[in-house]
């Protein structure tokens, strides 16, 4: 018996890269599959072989079972690792592997059939006398609300899926069928199955999950638990291990329940058993994820066990490398998920090109990403950019590591949720571990306040100084007095210029006669600044003894993309020189454009058009739905108006700022 020699990875992004790295440590060759749009990605470059899936919908690429199996056979792969998402919980995929004599790196197709169906998994747990959340399957062909015998509010969930996709709360009958239709469509699109079920919603619950491992020799162990209560729109964004709020008695009950479920199905590989804890300390089984989890890294950090390596060894026919007695917890780990999304636009995916990334370097910080130089975020996939995982001797120490290092994470290009996560870390309730799955909803205004009020004077003056420095001063030789070391500014007297910051134009007077002591005047206030250091895209500058670190890169000759305090800004210089392209102040997406033109705020696909030409609409009416990066984005009317023209059709691929609808005033 020996290890597998070659595996195909039926996934992409950071999890594909994570699997490749563990495989390399075990001298296992890897085959990557990829959509043509991501051929320059790091996981494609690092794999031993890479096969293009071409272009097209997910059904023809990462959800195409027959094609993936054929590629595995053609490349001589012995096994397929499904990662998470896509086909990872699809029993038909596991069965296709088995029928073609390929090892599916995970449980058997029969176990997947049972456990990937959340309603069936609950039935199993009930048979084992494990408490479950009340739930009921939904008949998608029926319109009779009386068939659902649960009290509102209800949580509508995809029977075969995760990541919060297709999940929504409904508070009354009127919301029910609209939600069912939307959730079923999302589930079908991302998991290949539109089945749904309704679950009784538990207020102020905490979410705890147990990592288990099993082999082919009836060994089932747990690697303790994680807490995943910080969720936005039912998707986890911060996870940590262990869940220190649990009493020893409750922890033992939950760990025992997870292992009992694993043993009941003779589970093999890595799996996660998930529970809710209510306000009185009662626990309820909700589902099992029969695959590797996005958040597996926090468990690896506190146990020292490489979960992916264990998957590969088990799939090769070896027993688990550790016994239950050998699994020990050390310290505390917390993971942050960094997404390309705009918190001020209801977390709409941000599909702007990824221009530059500077990652912090810290011994107690682990970074999982898929960066390979400059690349665009791909709108048909999840907007996850990277994960930051901190290890500390305790929870407080891990929070400190993240708080320090998230300030040194500089992402240029798309808007991100980085400041949002930073604000959570500093929130009193989070620091005191007073949490529930409703935390983000209850603190929404506080968490996005920094984005909404981003142009306060404290931030505006460093931004102006940075813009002046980038356009008019060259600081590579900060100790030099040579005239050629300072380019772009030739006047010996002051000059008035215009600087546009996020489309707001400011009139600035430059005072650069003494290049070693630059200054500017804004709103009658003279501000001197000093460039402390410039390295790559990062500039450290000082104003009134306060140092600011700002990342900036020129997107064009006259336009700067900036990240300051983990918030994105755009700066341009209107009318600087005739040789420079003019950047209009209203270039940013604005659905209230006086022309009546509604532009697409992102790249994506038109799912629904809810209006017709010549229709009279009201402000706030739903105009259309655009799918982008695994989310549905609702385009609402900015005013009362008449629909003059609809410029797109259902199914059309649209790009950022592309015209969608033309409105005219009602007569």
Catalytic residues: 291
Name the nearest CA neighbour of 221 among 324, 329, 327: 324
Residue 462 has a CB neighbour count (10 Å cut-off) of: 24
Spatial separation of the C-alpha atoms in residues 394 and 403, rounded to whole Å: 14
φ/ψ (deg, to 5) at 179: -65, -40
DSSP state of 485: G
- Distant-in-sequence, close-in-space partners of 175: CB < 8 Å, separation ≥ 6: none
Tokens of 82: 């499904």
The crossing angle, in degrees rounded to 10, of helices 65-74 and 91-99 is 30
Spatial separation of the C-alpha atoms in residues 516 and 531, rounded to whole Å: 9
Residues 455, 504: contact at Cβ < 8 Å? yes
Name the nearest CA neighbour of 585 among 467, 464, 504, 498: 504
Name the nearest CA neighbour of 167 among 148, 151, 190: 190
Tokens of 98: 């088995």
**Given the DSSP bridges, would you call strands 49-52 and 29-34 parallel, antiparallel or unpaired?**
parallel
Spatial separation of the C-alpha atoms in residues 237 and 335, rounded to whole Å: 8
Spatial separation of the C-alpha atoms in residues 151 and 199, rounded to whole Å: 9
Beta strands in 107-234 (DSSP E): 135-137, 154-158, 168-170, 196-200, 206-214, 220-232
DSSP state of 325: G
State how far the alpha carbon of 664 is from the alpha carbons of 65, 494, 587, 637, in Å. Answer: 48, 46, 21, 12
The residues pairing with 534 across neighbouring beta strands, listed in sequence order, are 539
Tokens of 285: 């089984």
Tokens of 482: 């040579």
Spatial separation of the C-alpha atoms in residues 237 and 421, rounded to whole Å: 8
**Given the DSSP bridges, would you call strands 6-9 and 79-81 parallel, antiparallel or unpaired?**
parallel
Signed CA dihedral, 449, 454, 459, 461: sign only: negative
Tokens of 358: 């500077």
The crossing angle, in degrees rounded to 10, of helices 307-315 and 13-25 is 70
N-terminal to C-terminal alpha carbon distance within the chain: 81
Spatial separation of the C-alpha atoms in residues 357 and 409, rounded to whole Å: 8
Signed CA dihedral, 350, 333, 294, 185: sign only: negative
Spatial separation of the C-alpha atoms in residues 370 and 355, rounded to whole Å: 14
Residues 443, 429: contact at Cβ < 8 Å? yes
DSSP helix/strand/coil, 441: helix
Spatial separation of the C-alpha atoms in residues 622 and 102, rounded to whole Å: 47
């Amino acid at each position: 018996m020996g290890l597998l020699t070659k595996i195909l990875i039926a996934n992409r992004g950071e999890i594909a890269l994570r699997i490749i790295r563990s495989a390399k440590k075990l001298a296992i060759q890897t085959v990557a599959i990829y959509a043509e749009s991501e051929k320059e990605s790091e996981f494609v470059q690092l794999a031993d072989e890479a096969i293009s899936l071409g272009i097209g919908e997910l059904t023809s690429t990462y959800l195409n079972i027959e094609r993936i199996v054929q590629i595995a056979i053609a490349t001589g792969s012995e096994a397929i690792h499904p990662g998470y998402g896509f086909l990872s919980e699809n029993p038909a995929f596991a069965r296709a592997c088995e029928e073609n004599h390929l090892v599916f790196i995970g449980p058997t197709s029969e176990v997947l059939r049972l456990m990937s169906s959340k309603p069936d998994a609950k039935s199993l747990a009930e048979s084992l006398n494990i408490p479950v959340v009340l739930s009921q399957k939904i008949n998608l062909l029926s319109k009779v609300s009386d068939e659902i015998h649960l009290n509102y509010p209800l949580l509508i969930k995809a029977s075969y899926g995760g990541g919060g996709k297709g999940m929504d709360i409904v508070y009354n009958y009127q919301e029910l069928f609209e939600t069912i239709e939307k959730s079923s469509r999302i589930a079908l699109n991302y998991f290949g199955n539109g089945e749904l079920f309704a679950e009784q919603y538990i207020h102020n619950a905490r979410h705890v999950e147990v990592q288990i491992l099993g082999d082919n020799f009836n060994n089932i162990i747990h690697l303790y638990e994680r807490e995943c209560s910080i969720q936005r729109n039912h998707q986890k964004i911060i996870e940590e291990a262990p869940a220190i709020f649990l009493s020893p008695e409750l922890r033992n009950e939950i760990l025992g329940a997870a292992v009992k479920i694993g043993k009941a199905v003779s589970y093999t590989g890595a799996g996660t058993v998930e529970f809710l804890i209510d306000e009185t300390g009662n626990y309820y089984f909700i589902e099992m994820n029969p695959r590797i989890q996005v958040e597996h890294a926090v468990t690896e950090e506190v146990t020292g066990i490489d979960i992916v390596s264990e998957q590969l060894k088990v799939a090769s026919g070896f027993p688990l490398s550790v016994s239950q007695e050998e699994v020990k917890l050390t310290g505390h780990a917390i993971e942050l998920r960094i997404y390309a999304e705009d918190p001020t636009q209801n977390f709409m995916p941000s599909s702007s090109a990824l221009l530059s990334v500077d990652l912090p370097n810290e011994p107690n910080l682990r970074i999982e990403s898929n960066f390979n130089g400059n690349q665009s975020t791909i709108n048909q996939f999840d907007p996850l950019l990277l994960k930051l995982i901190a290890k500390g001797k305790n929870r407080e120490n891990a929070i400190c590591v993240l708080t320090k290092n998230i300030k040194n994470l500089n992402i240029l290009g798309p808007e991100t949720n980085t400041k949002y996560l930073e604000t959570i870390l500093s929130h009193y309730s989070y620091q005191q571990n007073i949490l529930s799955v409703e935390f983000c909803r209850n603190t929404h205004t506080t968490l996005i306040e920094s984005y909404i009020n981003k142009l306060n004077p404290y931030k505006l003056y460093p931004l102006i100084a940075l813009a002046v420095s980038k356009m008019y001063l060259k600081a590579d030789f900060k100790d030099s007095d040579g005239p050629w070391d300072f380019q772009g500014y030739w006047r010996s007297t002051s000059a008035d210029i215009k600087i546009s910051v996020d489309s707001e134009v400011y009139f600035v007077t430059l005072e650069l006669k003494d290049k070693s002591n630059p200054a500017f005047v804004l709103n009658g206030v003279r501000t001197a600044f000093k460039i402390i250091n410039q390295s790559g895209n990062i500039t450290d500058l000082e104003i009134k003894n306060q140092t600011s670190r700002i990342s900036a890169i020129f997107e064009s000759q006259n336009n700067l993309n900036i990240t300051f305090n983990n918030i994105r800004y755009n700066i341009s210089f209107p009318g600087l020189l005739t040789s420079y392209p003019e950047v209009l102040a209203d270039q940013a997406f604005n659905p209230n454009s006086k022309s009546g033109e509604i532009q697409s705020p992102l790249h994506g696909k038109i799912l629904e058009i809810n209006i017709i030409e010549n229709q009279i609409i009201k402000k706030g009416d739903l105009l259309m739905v655009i799918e982008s990066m695994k989310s549905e984005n609702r385009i609402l009317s900015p005013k009362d108006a008449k629909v003059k023209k609809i410029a797109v059709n259902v199914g059309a691929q649209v790009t950022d700022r592309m015209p969608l609808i033309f409105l005219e005033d009602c007569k």
